[in-house]
Structure 1
Amino acid sequence: MQAIPSALIGQNLLVSAETGSGKSGSFLVPIVSYCAKFNADKPHGERKPLAMVLTPTRELCIQVEEQAKLLGKGLPFKTALVVGGDAMAGQLYRIQQGISLIVGTPGRLIDLLAKHDIELDSVSILVLDEVDSMLERGFHEQVMQIFRALSQPQVLMYSATIPKDVQKMANSMVKDLTIIAVGKPNKPTGAVKQVVIWVDSKQKKQKLFDILTSKQHFKPPVVVFVSSRIGADLLSEAIGITTGIKAVSIHGEKSMKERREILKSFLVGEVLVIVATGVLGRGIDLLHVKQVIVFDMPNSIKEYVHQIGRASRLGEEGSAMAFVNEENKNLFRDLVQILKSSGAAVPRELANSRYTFGSSTNKGQKKRKYGL
């Protein structure tokens, strides 16, 4: 990715890139390179954190740390994972043993910093992954609190969707911000074939069952996105009972251990369908997934872009089906624009709706939080 050379020479970056385009690698390569050089002649016990990556979800943190460990294998480079669900004592011990990179969620990191004396003076690189989520949601004050605790680090910010207000906030954080757009910013990757289906709420379950039992339309493994935790549990159970297909749910009320085991069983093919809240909507590399079904449309079009992006990683073709009806009228205008720009068919009901020609979606609406 073209962001790597800019990051390597110390520029502050705001990078907008299509989902599945390799954003994590574009900030981890400069981090590993910098840390390995800095630590080359330092004893292991004397190493202090040199870089920090913040992400909105535990799953994404785990994924980023695993990628970092792979890139840094054989080099003087160690990592620490700081997320809820795991014992804080173990995370603190890991940091005290001498590490180069901290990967964590803002809330857990602030909790750790408040209770223990951890030296961050050496942190020279701060990464905000999924920056639109980090600066817009409840994370904003936490992120700024961490940022103010650092000594003017290089800041690297990444997401598939970067609204203008987030860009404005990013500019206020750092000087000389370089903005890089890869592919079509704020739009779905062209590798995902979108199919939007108009279906009444009462008929959505049956429509989903029809798709899952169709040899033509079912392309496992499949991620089904829903809007609530209890909805995920009930729908996964209904899929198993009605279709006989093994399905599990994943959301923030499940323990860290449960979530790891669920993802593992899904990725190795033991489970064909996973029903998820927004916890899987961003950044997670589900490399074998070629089909996403958006059972409940999210509250913003940018979350839709992130969710369907799970169907394509690194440019591989995938498909996304989305169930739409009058309940999603706030999204109609933006959804039609995205479908047309992608060359996808627009359902007649959606095209003819009076809401399609109304004002844009994102003004004055409440934004649904992650199911964390």
Structure 2
Amino acid sequence: MSEKNLTETKFSSLGLAEPLIQGIEETGFSYCTPIQAETLPPALEGHDVAGQAQTGTGKTAAFLLAGFQYLLTHPATEHRKPNQPRAMILAPTRELAIQIHKDAESLGRHTGLKLGLVYGGTGYEQQRTMLQEGVDILIGTPGRIIDYFKQKVFNLREAQVLVLDEADRMFDLGFIDDIRYLLRRMPDPDKRLNMLFSATLSMRVTELAYEHMNNPTKVTIETDSVTADNVRQAIYYTANDEKIPLLLGLINQMVPTRSIIFVNTKRMAERIDAYLEGNDLKAAVLSGDVPQQKRQRLLEQFQQGELPILIATDVAARGLHVPEVSHVFNFDLPQDAEDYVHRIGRTARAGASGDAISFACEDYSFSLPDIESYIGYKIPSEPVSSDLLVEPKPPAKRERRPRKPNGRGGQSQGRRNNRPHKRHS
């Protein structure tokens, strides 16, 4: 985190338990970000918090530290059973849930609290066994969690802490009914610590907060602009048949160290992947139906720098915390203006700078006015010069594989495939 994104508030001044101070020091942080400085004091006093902040601002550490502190200072009841978690943290995507769990392991390593991670797509029986044996803090996505809940694998009668992260995205993915179902089966709001975070505290998010929280303190971290100031944005007006040559030309010219290419469909992602391979560029596709173990392997390779290019649908637009992404390419402009902000927010994280290049083509240029209206300014345009257009080599040939039935172990992220099985309803 760069100096300009930090406040003068030190974690050591907040009265945190010694195990948490030790975890913070080992992560290398000393000073709070604005969202941490504003939300931690009321949360540490036991007040509910509804916070508005963009991704990459440090909100995960804020709710983890507050939750850990509450559990350390409010012992569990004597009659609590192993399959009764003391805290539940809900995230809209499995990538975000995995990242929260990773951060929780770092910050809470000295607390003695047991973490559990639950999400669709893999490890069904292993996750079930883990819940039966018991965890203190349950982190996961709504679909898989409610599946186990309806099977009575665990219950929430002893829950002391609730966190809803990226609540606006919960609505977008259709999870909100499931979430309300779970919240109604927890102790009353005044008997637990509740924290909600969202990129926007819209009317529907605020209504959810006041319905299931105890008079929450509202914290809004204002930014001068919707998008990060250190993202260099550019847009190229291009014909459809120029997009692949232009992409190859920009990659050759800019030599990105680690980049994400966003597309709107899996079919286009696979087409780009074939062209990149045919032109000696190493890349991989991340979309909703990629098996979870493969997704995690690809993300680890990308994070470690072994894989320089990731081609992704919007399933990857939120919840990815990958350092040093130098370039984001919007090969297809998103059809939702908010998704543009989330996509380009994958670069220029933690105070770094980055480039976001977008193509306004024949199919998706209609989205541009809404995007520019949402961010509040026109994106600088660049000419599509002939020296930028590379004549591509033929795409790599791929063997078509028969589709496998999507069973319990192959759930993909999203409302349709991440909801509980009917026989458990």
Aligning the two structures, in what range does the TM-score lie when normalised by the shorter sequence?
0.7 to 0.9
Q: Which whole-Å deviations, capped at 9, do the CAs of 1:288-347 have from their partners, x for residues lacking one? A: 212111111222111111111010222221121111235335533332235555x85257
Give matches, 1:1-372, under 5 Å. 1=36, 2-38=38-74, 48-153=84-189, 154-184=193-223, 187-214=226-253, 217-242=254-279, 244-325=280-361, 327-328=363-364, 330-337=366-373, 340-341=376-377, 344-345=379-380
Q: Which whole-Å deviations, capped at 9, do the CAs of 1:257-303 have from their partners, x for residues lacking one? A: 10111011111111110001112101311112121111112221111
CA distance in 1, matches of 2:126, 2:91: 20
In structure 2, give the amino acid aligned to 1:106.
Answer: P
Post-superposition offset of 1:181: 1.7
The alpha-carbon distance between structure 1 residues 44 and 169, as it changes in their structure 2 partners (threshold 3 A), is closer
Contact 2:174–2:415 under 8 Å retained in 1: no
With 162-171 and 266-275 compared, the bigger mean Cα shift is at 162-171
With 9-18 and 297-306 compared, the bigger mean Cα shift is at 9-18
CA distance in 1, matches of 2:340, 2:172: 16
With 252-261 and 121-130 compared, the bigger mean Cα shift is at 121-130
In structure 1, give the amino acid aligned to 2:289.
Answer: E
CA distance in 1, matches of 2:381, 2:200: 22
Q: Which whole-Å deviations, capped at 9, do the CAs of 1:25-44 have from their partners, x for residues lacking one? A: 11111112222334599899
In structure 1, give the amino acid aligned to 2:229.
Answer: G
CA distance in 1, matches of 2:200, 2:225: 4
Post-superposition offset of 1:145: 1.2
Q: Which whole-Å deviations, capped at 9, do the CAs of 1:207-231 have from their partners, x for residues lacking one? A: 11111111xx232200111112232
In structure 1, give the amino acid aligned to 2:176.
Answer: H
CA distance in 1, matches of 2:155, 2:187: 11
For residue 311 of structure 1, give the secondary structure of its aligned residue in structure 2. coil
Post-superposition offset of 1:126: 1.6
Alpha-carbon RMSD across the aligned residues, in angstroms, is 2.8
Q: Which whole-Å deviations, capped at 9, do the CAs of 1:28-68 have from their partners, x for residues lacking one? A: 11112222334599899858411111111111111111111
For residue 116 of structure 2, give the secondary structure of its aligned residue in structure 1. strand
CA distance in 1, matches of 2:416, 2:261: 14
Contact 1:251–1:371 under 8 Å retained in 2: no
For residue 149 of structure 1, give the secondary structure of its aligned residue in structure 2. coil
For residue 196 of structure 1, give the secondary structure of its aligned residue in structure 2. strand
CA distance in 2, matches of 1:371, 1:113: 18
CA distance in 2, matches of 1:370, 1:297: 23
Contact 1:297–1:324 under 8 Å retained in 2: yes
For residue 242 of structure 2, give the secondary structure of its aligned residue in structure 1. helix
Q: Which whole-Å deviations, capped at 9, do the CAs of 1:111-162 have from their partners, x for residues lacking one? A: 1111234131121222121111112431111111111121134332223344
CA distance in 2, matches of 1:235, 1:159: 33
Contact 2:327–2:355 under 8 Å retained in 1: yes
Contact 2:329–2:356 under 8 Å retained in 1: yes
CA distance in 1, matches of 2:225, 2:186: 30
The alpha-carbon distance between structure 1 residues 88 and 199, as it changes in their structure 2 partners (threshold 3 A), is same
In structure 2, give the amino acid aligned to 1:220.
Answer: T
Contact 2:92–2:173 under 8 Å retained in 1: no
CA distance in 2, matches of 1:292, 1:182: 25
Segments of structure 1 that go 5 or more residues without pairing to the other structure are 349-368
With 192-201 and 271-280 compared, the bigger mean Cα shift is at 192-201
How many residues align? The count is: 349
Between structure 1 and structure 2, the one with the greater Rg is 2
With 9-18 and 288-297 compared, the bigger mean Cα shift is at 9-18
Contact 1:21–1:315 under 8 Å retained in 2: no
CA distance in 2, matches of 1:371, 1:193: 36
With 80-89 and 251-260 compared, the bigger mean Cα shift is at 80-89
The alpha-carbon distance between structure 1 residues 197 and 177, as it changes in their structure 2 partners (threshold 3 A), is farther
For residue 335 of structure 2, give the secondary structure of its aligned residue in structure 1. coil
TM-score, length-normalised on structure 1?
A: 0.85
With 115-124 and 254-263 compared, the bigger mean Cα shift is at 115-124
In structure 1, give the amino acid aligned to 2:65.
Answer: V
In structure 2, give the amino acid aligned to 1:147.
Answer: L
Segments of structure 2 that go 5 or more residues without pairing to the other structure are 1-35, 384-413, 418-425
Contact 2:333–2:365 under 8 Å retained in 1: no
With 282-291 and 41-50 compared, the bigger mean Cα shift is at 41-50
CA distance in 1, matches of 2:415, 2:273: 19
CA distance in 2, matches of 1:327, 1:127: 39
Contact 1:18–1:189 under 8 Å retained in 2: no
